[in-house]
Amino acid sequence: MASSYRPRAWVTIFLPFALGYYLSYLLRTVNAVISPDLTRDLALSAADLGLLTSAYFLVFGLAQIPLGIALDRYGPRRVEGGLLVLAALGAAGFALGESLPELIVARGLIGLGVSACLMAGLKGFAMWYPPERQSSMTGFIMAAGALGALTASAPLEALLPMLGWRGVFWVIAVIAAATALFVFLSIPDEAEHASKDSLGEALRSVGHIFASPAFLRFAGAAAFFTGGFMALQSLWAVPWLMNVNGLSLAQAARYLMALNVGMLVGQLAIGFLGTRLARRGVRPVHLLQGGFAAMLVVEVAILFDVGAAALLWFLIGVLSAVNAQAYLATATHFPKEVFGRVSTAINLMSFAGAFGVQWGMGVALDALQGGGMSVPASLAAAFAGLLVVQAATLVPLFRRVRQVGQKG
């Protein structure tokens, strides 16, 4: 039972999951700061850089459906611990890579290796924490991810002259291996929670989830709000700040740090206030509606350079804290026993969107600049296209869909 682990739960359960998600987010966003060095050292085009960085999102997304089934069948300790070993190998491979194909393969292996870090945590919290703690624990583990993103901004930029981007990835490889060991040694045995569904039954249930109007209601917003945010945070924010706002790399890294501090503030706020809000009738879907609508307004302000840029990027970070509510909001429409499969299905949409936006913006930039458009103008055009798509996906969130699962 959850209560039996309560006295030591922060060390034996929360901390290993939090470290894993910290590492996942660090690896997700690290390319934003090292992108100028990668471009220079390997002579990458904008499309090359987008493809390289988005390989993480592609493999991460493809892993989500089998991951959800594996988490239900084998538990979070075995799945996350084993995959983190692959993350360590991928980081080492990235440090050794000498060509674009080699780095793409290594980046994809990293994406596979950290693909369980958030979902395993959410699954573990559902197994070992009481229901009333779920919203808060989700906020706190997301805050750990925000710390990872924060590390991958100004602190990483300060280390680059000393370590270089290859040295950074050697350090990450060691951290990933140590975290895998911690997961195996610390997290409790999960055998009693194993799913009894056959593989065929699990696959059929996934098909029903993807065909459900309740799932489709949230899928588009997850792809283009959550995925779009990840694409900006992990790559395109820095080129925007340098080319549109005219900042140096060091200044852009500080703005990116402001975004990541905002994300940390938002996640901690949900962690501390989530239970109180739920008691007052504020459900996850309400947080999504308000947060995504406000995010769109702030993005329009960034596009038209209205207001202080540092504050606007900070606000984007704060508002992005609602992204994780999509897992809980979607799950309220399904039976509790398929939570893992529902959450990984939504995660798939988020990472598919991140891959599409990240690579698609690179392709658009090359095409627009090839047609004679300046770098700042092409960035603005690509960003405007993203905002149009986001606005379209916001509409279904305000439509009511009958709940068939638990209330929440």
pLDDT the model gives residue 224: 97
3-state per-residue secondary structure call for the chain: CHHHHHHHHHHHHHHHHHHHHHHHHHHHHHHHHHHHHHHHHHCCCHHHHHHHHHHHHHHHHHCHHHHHHHHHHHCHHHHHHHHHHHHHHHHHHHHHCCCHHHHHHHHHHHHHHCCCHHHHHHHHHHHHCCHHHHHHHHHHHHHHHHHHHHHCCHHHHHHHHHHHHHHHHHHHHHHHHHHHHHHHHHCCCCHHHCCCCCHHHHHHHHHHHHHCHHHHHHHHHHHHHHHHHHHHHHHHHHHHHHHCCCCCHHHHHHHHHHHHHHHHHHHHHHHHHHHHHHHCCCCHHHHHHHHHHHHHHHHHHHHCCCCCHHHHHHHHHHHHHHHHHHHHHHHCCCCHHHHHHHHHHHHHHHHHHHHHHHHHHHHHHHHHHHCCCCHHHHHHHHHHHHHHHHHHHHHHHHCCCCCCCCCC
pLDDT the model gives residue 196: 61
405 within domain boundaries: no
CATH number at residue 228: 1.20.1250.20
In degrees, to the nearest 5, what angle opens at C-alpha 357 toward C-alphas 117 and 209? 55
Tell me how many domains the chain contains: 1
192 within domain boundaries: no
Using the structure block, give the residue that is written with the tokens 């045995």.
189
205 within domain boundaries: no
pLDDT the model gives residue 5: 46
Tens-binned pLDDT, residue by residue, of the chain (408 aa): 444 445 567 778 889 999 999 999 899 888 888 888 888 888 888 888 888 888 888 898 889 889 988 887 888 899 999 999 999 999 999 999 988 999 999 999 999 999 999 989 888 887 777 766 777 788 889 889 888 888 887 788 888 889 999 999 999 999 999 999 999 998 887 655 555 666 777 788 888 999 999 999 999 999 999 999 989 988 899 899 999 999 998 899 889 889 988 988 998 898 888 778 877 888 889 999 999 999 999 999 999 999 999 999 999 999 999 998 898 889 888 877 777 788 889 988 998 898 899 889 989 999 999 999 999 999 999 999 999 999 999 999 998 765 544 333
What is the C-alpha R_g of the chain?
A: 20
373 within domain boundaries: yes
Per-residue pLDDT reduced to its tens digit, 216-236: 999 999 999 999 998 998 889
pLDDT the model gives residue 174: 96
251 within domain boundaries: yes
51 within domain boundaries: yes
4 within domain boundaries: no
Per-residue pLDDT reduced to its tens digit, 283-325: 889 999 999 999 999 999 999 999 999 999 999 999 999 998 8
pLDDT the model gives residue 192: 54
pLDDT the model gives residue 358: 87
pLDDT the model gives residue 2: 44
pLDDT the model gives residue 3: 42
404 within domain boundaries: no
pLDDT the model gives residue 188: 80
pLDDT the model gives residue 198: 67
Q: Which structural domain, as residue segments, surrounds residue 55?
A: 10-186+212-398
